Each structure stands twice: as structure tokens, then as C-alpha cells.
């Protein structure tokens, strides 16, 4: 199955797939009236032969699509707010789509049908087939805080998770804490792995080893964070401080502590991650790592616009974070 590499045409794709050029055109333009098996075959052939549709053939909408797994208060809402603000400033429309845990492919077909300026992806994982689908239509996409390694040809915007995890843990160590618990994010998320590596490095820097009993796996969601917090606080030797890998988990720690009459920060110090609502309005206000969502959104917009202009200089951007000290952390009190 091969065609000349000089110029691949719709008729070539149609011949290889044994369908009509009209059917290939429908697949290219994201039309829904094509059988799933036929669509899959045509898309596979397009990937195999390296076919992409020139931008000049399709009207591009003055919009940017934001595709998320779920709309949760785990940074997704903060990023959406900043993207919307930027869109208003730049007269660019914003469309938000949710894929759910199954990462539904019809979301990407709808995106292709709308043919936006570009796509910002905040997902648990971006399937290779869907990435190839966007690439084949020359629609620039930017992966935010990628779960796994991003191919050199793609675009990504992330933060320095290792340094953030190191700084959060060092803050607790400087306050005298030595039994520092951690509630992580998903096991396969690169952001969580980076934060955990920083946590470990900070402990080792003080001559401490990681106590497996003080580390609980989470998924950045409230329910799992609450269960993990209960397990830590009900342990025979509970931690005197906990580093939550996002603010949503930190809120769950507050609930678990309240139910056990554990006072924050008198009995337990807590550090979160994200600096999103309602971290500043908790009682006490949450010490946390600030994610620069405004810069993340701006960097993603710039990558998309630069790609459209053909002048991309840097495809992968890593932004710094900072520790915001508030009332949820305090020096360790000597008991007894």
C-alpha cells in the first residue's frame, strides 16, 4: 500500500481505501455520516501515507478549543477562566469540551468539524490516534501539564513540578516537621511523579528516608483524597504535616482533621498545590504552591498563534511555581 511521496491526493486515499473521493472528503472534514469502520480505515491510511490537509482549503474559525477530561476544581476551572479572559482580550472565542474517562473520539471529530485556530488539551492522557487526527488536519494543539513524554514535534506547557515538590517539603522541614505525609496524584501522571521526586529529594537532603506508611496514592479528586487523609490520620503514628499534591486533596484533609478534632495548624500542618479557590478562604487559609494559570494559558495561546504564523521557536515550555505561605502551617510543637 503506497503512493508517491511527491503529492498525496484525496483520490490516492480513496483508491487505497477502496471508497469514493467523496467519502474521503467527509472523513477529512469530520462529517458524521460515515460508517465507523470506513472512517477508521481512511484515517489509518491517511496516517500511513502522511496525508495532511492544507490550511488554505478550509475556513478557520477564530476560536480556540479547550478539551478537558472533567470540569473539576483541580486547576481545570482556573485554566478555563484564564483562557476565557485571554480570549475576550484577543477577540478569540473559547469552546470547552469534556471527554470523560473514556476520552470519546467524537469530541475530536466535532473539534475538526469546527476547525478552530488550535486546541488546548488538559487531559489524563491524549490518545495517539486522536493526536494524529488533529495533526492530519494541521490543527495546532498544546498539551497542558502532560501525563507522559511529549513528542518533540508537538507542543506542551507545564510547570517545574520537581522544584515545587521540593519547596513544599522543605517548608515543612524548616518548621521542624519530620513525619511528613504525602497524598499523591495518579501513579502514571508525570506531574505527580515530579512532585513526589521533589518530596523525596527534600527528605533525603535532611538525612531522612521516605516512610511508605506516610505516602498515600490519590487521583487529584476529593473522595480519594479524603480516604487517604483518613488513613494517614488514623495511623498509630500519624504525620505531623501532610503535603497534598493538589488543593482539592488539601480540602479533604481539612474535613478529615475536623472530624477527628485535629487542629490545623496546631496539631497538623497542611500544604496544598495549585492556589485555587477556596484555598485563600479556608480557616485557616491554606499554604500552597501557586500554579501560574495566567501564564500557562498565555503560553498556550502564543504557541497556537505562532504555529499558525509558522514562527514557532520553542515547542515545550516549563514555567516556575512559588510557595504561598498562609495559616495552615506552623512550627512543630514538642508534645509531652
Rounded distance, CA 155 to CA 305, Å?
12
Q: Which has the closest alpha carbon to 113: 171, 63, 188, 77?
A: 63
Rounded distance, CA 252 to CA 256, Å?
6
Q: What are phi and psi of 170, to 5 degrees?
A: -60, -40
CATH dotted code for 161-291: 3.40.50.2300
Q: Which residue has the cell 481505501?
A: 17
What is the pLDDT, as a whole number, of residue 57? 46
Q: Using one digit for the tens of pLDDT, what is the confidence trace for 139-174?
A: 899 999 887 777 888 899 999 999 999 999 999 999
Q: What are phi and psi of 56, to 5 degrees?
A: -65, -15
Q: Which residue has the cell 503506497?
A: 2
- Cβ-Cβ contacts under 8 Å for 96 (sequence gap 6 or more): 65, 66, 67, 68, 71, 80
Rounded distance, CA 304 to CA 310, Å?
10
Rounded distance, CA 92 to CA 84, Å?
9
CA pseudo-torsion sign 278, 282, 285, 288: negative
What is the pLDDT, as a whole number, of residue 326? 98
Q: If you average pLDDT over every residue of the chain, what do you get?
A: 88
What is the pLDDT, as a whole number, of residue 55? 40
Query: In CATH terms, are 10-51 and 58-160+293-321 the same topology?
Result: no
What is the pLDDT, as a whole number, of residue 105? 61
| DSSP 8-state symbol, 93 | E
Q: Which residue has the cell 478562604?
A: 281
Q: Which has the closest alpha carbon to 216: 247, 238, 194?
A: 238
User: What are the structural domain ranges in the chain?
Assistant: 10-51, 58-160+293-321, 161-291
CATH dotted code for 10-51: 1.10.260.40
CATH dotted code for 58-160+293-321: 3.40.50.2300
Rounded distance, CA 201 to CA 162, Å?
9
Q: What percent of the chain has pLDDT over 70?
A: 92
Under-70 pLDDT residues of the chain: 1-6, 30-32, 53-58, 101-105, 124-125, 334-336
Rounded distance, CA 211 to CA 179, Å?
8
What is the pLDDT, as a whole number, of residue 30? 64
Amino acid at each position: 500500500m503506497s503512493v508517491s511521496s511527491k503529492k498525496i491526493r484525496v483520490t490516492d486515499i480513496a483508491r487505497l481505501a477502496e471508497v469514493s473521493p467523496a467519502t474521503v472528503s467527509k472523513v477529512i472534514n469530520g462529517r458524521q455520516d460515515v460508517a465507523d469502520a470506513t472512517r477508521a480505515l481512511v484515517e489509518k491510511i491517511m496516517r500511513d501515507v502522511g496525508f495532511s490537509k492544507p490550511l488554505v482549503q478550509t475556513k478557520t474559525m477564530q476560536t480556540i478549543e479547550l478539551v478537558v477530561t472533567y470540569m473539576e476544581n483541580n486547576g481545570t476551572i482556573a485554566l478555563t477562566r484564564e483562557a476565557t479572559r485571554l480570549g475576550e482580550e484577543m477577540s478569540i472565542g473559547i469552546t470547552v469540551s469534556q471527554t470523560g474517562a473514556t476520552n470519546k473520539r467524537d469530541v475530536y471529530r466535532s473539534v475538526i468539524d469546527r476547525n478552530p485556530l488550535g486546541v488546548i488539551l488538559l487531559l489524563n492522557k491524549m490518545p495517539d490516534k486522536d493526536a494524529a487526527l488533529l495533526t492530519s488536519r494541521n490543527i495546532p494543539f498544546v498539551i497542558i501539564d502532560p501525563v507522559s513524554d511529549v513528542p518533540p514535534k508537538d507542543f506542551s506547557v507545564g510547570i517545574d513540578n520537581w522544584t515545587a515538590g521540593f519547596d513544599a517539603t522543605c517548608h515543612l522541614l524548616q518548621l521542624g516537621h519530620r513525619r511528613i505525609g504525602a497524598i499523591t496524584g495518579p501513579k502514571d501522571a508525570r506531574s505527580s511523579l515530579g512532585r513526589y521526586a521533589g518530596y523525596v529529594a527534600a527528605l533525603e537532603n535532611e538525612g531522612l528516608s521516605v516512610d511508605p506508611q506516610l505516602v498515600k496514592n490519590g487521583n487529584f479528586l476529593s473522595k480519594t483524597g479524603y480516604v487517604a487523609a483518613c488513613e494517614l490520620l488514623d495511623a498509630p503514628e500519624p504525620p505531623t504535616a501532610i503535603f497534598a499534591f493538589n488543593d482539592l486533596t488539601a480540602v479533604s484533609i481539612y474535613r478529615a482533621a475536623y472530624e477527628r478534632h485535629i487542629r490545623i495548624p496546631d496539631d497538623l500542618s497542611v500544604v496544598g498545590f495549585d492556589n485555587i479557590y477556596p484555598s485563600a478562604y479556608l480557616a485557616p487559609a491554606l499554604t500552597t504552591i501557586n500554579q501560574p494559570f495566567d501564564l500557562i494559558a498565555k503560553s498556550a495561546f502564543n504557541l497556537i498563534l505562532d504555529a499558525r504564523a509558522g514562527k514557532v521557536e520553542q515547542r515545550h515550555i516549563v514555567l516556575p511555581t512559588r510557595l504561598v505561605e498562609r495559616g495552615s502551617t506552623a512550627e512543630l510543637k514538642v508534645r509531652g
